[in-house]
A and B are shown apart, each in its own frame.
Chain A
Amino acid sequence: MDVNVTVNGESYERDVEPRKLLIHFLRDDLDLTGSHIGCDTGNCGACSVIVDGVLVKSCMMLAVQADGSNVETVEGLAQDGELNGLQQAFSEHHGLQCGYCTPGMLMSATALLRANPHPSEEEIRTGIQGNICRCTGYVNIVEAIKAAAE
């Protein structure tokens, strides 16, 4: 099936099998490998992206369902090679250890801060509830999001 999507401001048109998950479309067809596949069961959130302004797990959505959508992935955060404020805050507050969950954490934090620019710690923890960090580095991730909000 023909799929037209805009990803990080760029338009793409591809012929896609209906069974292809959005995460595979982004990684394999568009070579945007920033979004990670963690659990592939909808639990870990490493594949989180923003579709038409809505945070989703891209392993639980078919690429054909994204037809006509505007998709944002972690690759769209930095501008001209400069980390954005949220990414800089993750760097400064050691908000990542192995880094595997980081693309998903960044997208969840991006969606959270758009909806709620000054979240409480509780709201931050609820905002990243769908993202699992297997290094268990949540304290610094929460600190980084708090810092980015200030």
Chain B
Amino acid sequence: MLLREVEYARPASVQEAVRLLSDHDGARALAGGQTLINVMKARAASPDALVDLSALAELKGIDLAADGTVTIGAMVTYTELMASAEARARPILGDVCAQIADVQVRNRGTIGGNVCSNDPTNHLPPLMVSLGATMHIVGANGERSVPAEEFFLGVYMTAAGPGELLTKISVPPGKSDGFASVTIGRDGTCIVNAAASVNGGVRLALGCVDAVPVLIKAGATDDDAVRAAVREANLQPPSDVHASADYRRHLAEVVAVRAAGEARGKR
């Protein structure tokens, strides 16, 4: 497919990338391109300029701090995260990345791209919300940090606005986590997904049921408590060819119970 004409730049520093993104209204950051290039083919997005982040060493790498916090550069690929000894401190990260698409997509798709594209069917937005991750954003006015539960603003929209760049994601220590989904085919697009993190009670984040991940906190982690908490959330999920709203509402309870069960089992 021939794309629309587009300008291209590969800045050598984060500052230069931010300047390019702020200077052009129609500029978009290009991470791994596994979503953006396809939506450009479909003309669903037609940026005037692409700012390729691949040369920014500051956006790569995974750090494990002494307190167990895992900090992931936005340009880390799923494959790199799966192979990372540091990321194994929070095992759910690699476990979920291994469920995304296929080898080729995992080799190029990035953690930052997944959360910034914020497709409601993506895996990482609910995961980051359930883990209580912190998103680090840089823009012309400097750096700021946003909790994951405030980062996702709407379909394809996040707190990293025009002229801003997500640089890294910090994930606090822990290991009692779970993730469950019902997908279109093995490792296909999610119809409903849920991430759960147990720490006393449970933080559940449901995906595909609203424009942004739905955070549900429950005091108890047993199946009945999780099911009741999801029911109380009064989800109004969309209907589409893969599932009606009623069926999605039903699946949301099922995957929430599965994810919470997996998280409980890892204590």
Binding site for B on A (CB under 8 A): 1, 17-21, 24, 40-42, 45, 48, 54-57, 59-62, 64-65, 108, 111-112, 126-127, 129-131
Q: Which residue of A lies closest to B38 (CB)?
A: A42
Shortest distance in angstroms between B217's beta carbon and chain A's nearest beta carbon?
Answer: 35
Does B104 contact A130, Cβ atoms closer than 8 Å? Answer: yes
> Which residues from chain A contact B6 at a C-beta distance below 8 Å?
18-19
Binding site for A on B (CB under 8 A): 1-8, 10, 30, 33-34, 37-38, 41, 50, 52, 54, 79, 101-105, 107-108, 186-187
Does B1 contact A40, Cβ atoms closer than 8 Å? Answer: yes
Does A56 contact B8, Cβ atoms closer than 8 Å? Answer: no
A108 to B106, CA, bound (A): 13
A36 to B50, CA, bound (A): 26
Please give me the 10 A-B residue pairs with the lowest Cβ-Cβ distance, nearest first. Answer: A130-B102, A18-B8, A19-B3, A129-B102, A130-B104, A57-B104, A54-B107, A60-B37, A40-B1, A19-B6
Shortest distance in angstroms between A8's beta carbon and chain B's nearest beta carbon?
Answer: 19
A61 to B37, CA, bound (A): 7
The tally of CB-CB contacts under 8 A between chains A and B is 78
Q: Which of B41, B104, B107 contacts A41 (CB 8 A)?
A: B41
Does A42 contact B103, Cβ atoms closer than 8 Å? Answer: no
Q: Which of B33, B34, B38, B103 contacts A62 (CB 8 A)?
A: B33
Supposing A127-B103, A130-B105 touch, asked if A18 and B38 sit within 8 A by C-beta, the answer is no
A1 to B50, CA, bound (A): 14
Supposing A18-B8, A41-B41, A60-B34 touch, asked if A126 and B50 sit within 8 A by C-beta, the answer is no
A17 to B5, CA, bound (A): 8
Q: Which of B3, B37, B107, B187 contacts A129 (CB 8 A)?
A: B187
Does B105 contact A57, Cβ atoms closer than 8 Å? Answer: yes
A136 to B50, CA, bound (A): 38
Does A108 contact B103, Cβ atoms closer than 8 Å? Answer: yes
Does A48 contact B41, Cβ atoms closer than 8 Å? Answer: no
> Which residues from chain A contact B108 at a C-beta distance below 8 Å?
54, 56, 60-61
Shortest distance in angstroms between B142's beta carbon and chain A's nearest beta carbon?
Answer: 29
Q: What are 16 A-B interface contacts by the 8 Å CB criterion?
A: A1-B8, A17-B5, A19-B2, A21-B37, A40-B41, A45-B104, A54-B79, A55-B103, A56-B108, A57-B105, A59-B1, A60-B105, A62-B37, A64-B10, A126-B103, A130-B103
Q: Which residue of B lies closest to A125 (CB)?
A: B186
A18 to B49, CA, bound (A): 10
